[in-house]
């Protein structure tokens, strides 16, 4: 079974600064996807970024980028130029895309607070 570990329950960052959220996972599979989801106080789940395991290049989406280290099974999220609207819970998630039922395995999440 796959597991996803987010060991930091909370982090805080000053507006405009850069912050990195860590995530590690465990799997014996070679083909899988990794995601970061954001859940603001409204509780809507928003996909931030995705990474396919077969791609060596780290995914980027505007201010969000990942550091994907497949051998180390590490998948950290870097948020540059932090904004107040980035305040949210962030969940790292793993998906093995086999068959029709591609379940997500979530980490426990981290609460990020951006200070003005």
Partner 1 sequence: GAVVSQHPSWVICKSGTSVKIECRSLDFQATTMFWYRQFPKQSLMLMATSNEGSKATYEQGVEKDKFLINHASLTLSTLTVTSAHPEDSSFYICSAARPGQPQHFGDGTRLSIL
* Number of residues near partner 1 (by CB under 8 A): 24
CB of 97 to partner 1, least distance (A): 4
Site string for partner 1, 29-48 (x = CB under 8 A): ----x-x-x----xxxx-x-
Q: Select the residue interacting with partner 1 from 2, 22, 50, 64 (CB under 8 A).
A: 50
Residue 106, strand partner residues: 93
- Which residue, 47 or 84, is less far from partner 1 as judged by CB? 47
The span from the CA of 42 to the CA of 62, in Å, is: 22
The secondary element (H helix, E strand) that includes residue 38 is: strand 33-39
Coil vs helix vs strand at 115: strand
Site string for partner 1, 73-92 (x = CB under 8 A): ----------------x-x-
Contact between 113 and partner 1 by CB under 8 A: the answer reads no
The span from the CA of 65 to the CA of 10, in Å, is: 19
**Cβ pair 85, 29 in contact under 8 A:** no
Contact between 12 and partner 1 by CB under 8 A: the answer reads no
């Amino acid at each position: 079974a796959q597991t996803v570990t987010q060991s930091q329950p909370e982090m805080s960052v000053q507006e405009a600064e850069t912050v990195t959220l860590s995530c590690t996972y465990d799997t014996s599979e070679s083909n899988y996807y990794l995601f970061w989801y954001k859940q603001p106080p409204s509780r809507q789940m928003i996909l931030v970024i995705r990474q396919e395991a077969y791609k060596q290049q780290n995914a980027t989406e505007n201010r969000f980028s990942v550091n994907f280290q497949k051998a180390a099974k590490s998948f950290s999220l870097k948020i540059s130029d932090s904004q107040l609207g980035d305040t949210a819970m962030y969940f790292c998630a793993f998906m093995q895309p086999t068959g029709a039922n591609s379940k997500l395995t979530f980490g426990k999440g981290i609460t990020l607070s951006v200070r003005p």
